Chains A and B, each alone.
Chain A
Amino acid sequence: MRQVLDTLKGFYRQHRVLVFLALLVVMILLPVLFPKSYFMGVMCRILIYSVLAGALNAINGYSGQTCLGMAGFFCIGSYCEAILAVKAGWNFWMILPIAGIVTAAIGFVLAIPTLKMSGIYLSIVTLGFSEIVRLIALNWTGLTGGPMGIKGIPVPSFFGFEIKNSRSYYYIFLALAVLFIFVTNRVIKSRVGRAWISIREDQLAARSLGVQASRYKALNFTYGAFWAGLAGACYAPYVRFIDSTFFTLDEGWNILSMVIIGGQGTLVGPVVGSVLVNFLTEWLRPIGQWRMVAYALLIIVIMWCRPQGLVGSSDSILAGRSIRRKVSKDKKKEGARV
């Protein structure tokens, strides 16, 4: 088993670009191979959640801050798109960057007061923020249509070609996901990404080496929010009707569970999580409500066996290791030693 894995890993390392290209070709051909709109709908969902989970992972997995309010950013992005498209009649492609930037700005504003707090407070503030955003969307009737939501969001067109069903919309989501993974990969490998990781592993050490922790943390939040906003902006014209019930806390837990199950601190993790959770959703439909129980059990099992997630980074604090207490891998006992 192990040898097989190692061979696979070796092959992947040598021909990384090839693997990605092959995967991309398959992804591009998918709508041709499986033209069923239901299947494409599931694929669309997988891709959009890959981006959302990826954005959350950029925060949780790379800088070690536990953000729980992803649904709030998602909500802002969606409403931005819907409002500008329906009320101002702007073009989708023009709104897209604006929605991202607006969400990022709000993420930045949210990050400022939370910089001084420890992780726990930050979690609850982001959670509160997510609920506040939803309630504002529900109550500010003049802007958001209140409980009536916004309907008739115009579909984007691409050089005169109307993108109106899941088959063609799939490409927008695919482009978004590929763009996200590509950009995030570059960012993680840059100075900024390394600074985030150093903060995650040991903030004190990072500070002593001259990493301005609070600045990088704020930047990290802004970055995650930006992508969540973009995902939201792409999502609104896809469903054509949004209201505040799309962005409840459950949605936040949903995104979070993908990150936890798939894996934190790697680029592939959230994608794996999104694929797994969404396919499990389809696959476990027969058991109805037990599905949610299965999720919950899965989260607990993962936390017990692999806290960093299925394909998360193993030699990090995410995996339950503390850098300062250097414990060699084979001697490390599980559980608490008091």
Chain B
Amino acid sequence: MKRIVSLLLIAVLALGTLAGCGSSSTPASSTPAASQGEASTAGTDTPAPAEKGTIKLGVLAPLTGTNAEYGKGFEVGMKMAVDKINAAGGANGYQLELVVKDSKGDAKESSDLARQFADDESVLAILGDFTSGSCMANAPIVDEAGIVQLSPTASNPDYAAMSPYCFSIMGRQDGEAPFYAKYILQKYMGMKKVGVIYINSDWGQSCYDNFKKEADAIGLEIVETVSYVQDEKDFSSLITKLKAANPEVIAIMDQGAVPQVINQIRGTGWDIPITTLGPGTSQQLLDLAGANAEGLLLTSPFFFNEDDKDLMAWKEEFVSKAGFQPTIHPACAYDTVNLIAAAIEASGDGEVTRQTIRDNLAAVEMTGVTGPIKFNEAGDITRQYLICGVENGKYVIKEGFDYSKS
């Protein structure tokens, strides 16, 4: 019995191996189901007859794993942009098609998929990945293949400079963190002593380093700094540590864990002004922190302004498709597709290749959902930031603040 079972197992697995072999050695375009993975081909519901054909864009997004919600946001945001472009007759007459693959938020997985895209002649640009780590691991691959990797969210200052084919539109931490130190903490709030709690990741470290540099320059005193690693749940001892240093304000630098930190600070009955750098105007923060988020101040490169009709329409559409409120991340993802489309437009009557997309992308200037975008020499952008706050459970822009006032 056992023997038969194990033989069966071996047979099934061997077949599987062969199938795996077969599908992995052929380009993705010819085996629609077997090797495209989670690929959802995003076309319009009624594809207009494309006059010039289709351009495929590879998407790397963490659809499963710890960053799954961001990956979902990527997918929805990009699909919205593609639908819109295709409905309007395509980019320069080309229909766009997304090939979405799940990188699980894992750099190794991401590299494999980047190779897959690099091999597939029909894929002309890669959008993604979410984390700086994955993007940096893919840099040598896209560099060799000569294909653009345009990340909506990678903010590691080293990333874009790694290759002429690497781009990011998140805006770098050496822009946001100094703004945060100077304008929010020092000028807007008038604080002198700050206690910092940040996540020990590439992103958090880079935030903190830039923040500290600026703080030292403008005379803002950092009285205590504590850090923690990804997936930390218990901040009580860190909060006690911060408390002992008597800061006037708390600065939290993280994305996912910000609500927990806020909850636990308030949970100890400590009533101190809290500010944060990282989550942007995230709805999840409000959901998770509830009333504790009241009075929170933060930076954001853009804001879902309720008076802005187009933006609100975009937000509504996103919520109806994704089932949750957008943060800046899907908005950036939306912009990346438009950037690529603009790069394709710019090629005029010439042939569209990976190289032309790269060259035109570097020169693109446009205003996306997230504001004006223009790449610098390295391949990332410098963003303008706003001061936002939480009032009555909603985000508001802190108006009436004059940035030019020294």
Contacts and interface: CB of A to CB of B under 8 A. Distances in A.
Nearest to A243: B133
A100 to B, nearest CB: 22
Interface string B197-209: 0001110111000
Interface in B1-39: 2-3, 5-7, 9-10, 13, 16-17, 19-21, 23-25, 27, 33-38
Interface in B110-166: 111-112, 115-116, 118-120, 133, 136-137, 139-141, 144-145, 156, 158, 162
A139 B63 CA distance: 28
A36 B38 CA distance: 21
Given A148-B202, A283-B16, A288-B102, 8 more contacts: A1-B7, A36-B25, A37-B115, A147-B202, A147-B204, A151-B136, A276-B13, A288-B63
Residue from B37, B118, B144 whose CB has the most chain A CB atoms within 10 Å: B37
A93 interface: no
A279 B14 CA distance: 10
Given A147-B204, A246-B107, A283 B13 contact: no
- Binding site secondary structure of chain A: helix
A264 B269 CA distance: 55
The 4 closest A-B pairs by CB, nearest first: A285-B37, A279-B20, A283-B20, A38-B115
Interface in A257-309: 275-276, 279-280, 282-283, 285-286, 288-289, 301-302, 305-306
Given A147-B204, A276-B13, A279-B16, A306 B2 contact: yes
B244 interface: no
B35 A243 contact: no
25 contacts: A2-B3, A36-B27, A36-B119, A37-B115, A37-B119, A38-B116, A38-B120, A39-B24, A45-B108, A147-B201, A148-B158, A149-B133, A241-B136, A245-B107, A246-B107, A279-B16, A279-B21, A283-B34, A285-B35, A286-B33, A288-B38, A288-B102, A310-B6, A310-B9, A310-B13
Given A286-B37, A310-B10, A310-B13, A245 B115 contact: no
B323 to A, nearest CB: 18
Contact of B35 (A41, A135, A139, A282): A282
Given A139-B200, A286-B36, A41 B115 contact: yes
Interface residues of B, number: 55
A138 interface: yes
Given A239-B137, A241-B139, A243-B202, A282 B115 contact: no
Contacts of B120: 38
Contacts of A239: 107-108, 111, 137, 140
A282 B140 CA distance: 22
B64 interface: yes
A146 B120 CA distance: 35
A245 B129 CA distance: 15
B217 interface: no
A240 B16 CA distance: 32
A39 B137 contact: no
Contacts of A246: 107-108
Interface of B: 2-3, 5-7, 9-10, 13, 16-17, 19-21, 23-25, 27, 33-38, 63-64, 101-102, 106-108, 111-112, 115-116, 118-120, 133, 136-137, 139-141, 144-145, 156, 158, 162, 200-202, 204-206, 229
Contact of A282 (B20, B33, B38): B20
A146 B3 CA distance: 50
Nearest to A246: B107
Interface residues of A, number: 45
- Binding site secondary structure of chain B: helix
A164 B139 CA distance: 13
Interface of A: 1-2, 34, 36-39, 41-42, 45, 135, 138-139, 141, 146-149, 151-152, 164-166, 239-241, 243, 245-246, 275-276, 279-280, 282-283, 285-286, 288-289, 301-302, 305-306, 310, 334
Contacts of A275: 17
B63 A149 contact: no
A149 B202 contact: yes
A283 B133 contact: no
B205 A146 contact: yes
Contacts of B106: 245
Nearest to A153: B140
A138 B23 contact: no
B102 A164 contact: no
Contacts of A165: 144
A9 to B, nearest CB: 13
B102 A285 contact: yes
A37 B16 contact: no
A99 B38 CA distance: 39
Contacts of A1: 7
Nearest to B64: A289
B400 to A, nearest CB: 38
Contact of A42 (B2, B19, B24, B206): B24
Contacts of B204: 147
A147 B132 CA distance: 11
Nearest to A289: B64
B206 A148 contact: yes
A38 to B, nearest CB: 4
Contacts of A141: 205
Given A148-B156, A279-B16, A288-B102, A41 B112 contact: yes
Given A148-B202, A241-B136, A285 B38 contact: yes
B229 A138 contact: yes
Residue from A41, A139, A288 whose CB has the most chain B CB atoms within 10 Å: A41
Contact of B6 (A38, A41, A283, A306): A306
A239 B115 CA distance: 12
B16 to A, nearest CB: 6
B112 to A, nearest CB: 6
A41 B111 contact: yes
Contacts of A45: 108, 112
A221 to B, nearest CB: 26
A166 B145 CA distance: 12
A245 B137 CA distance: 11
Contacts of A288: 37-38, 63-64, 102
B360 to A, nearest CB: 25
A157 to B, nearest CB: 15
B133 A280 contact: no
A246 B34 CA distance: 27
B9 A286 contact: no
B64 A42 contact: no
Contact of B9 (A42, A149, A152, A305): A305
B212 to A, nearest CB: 14
A143 to B, nearest CB: 15
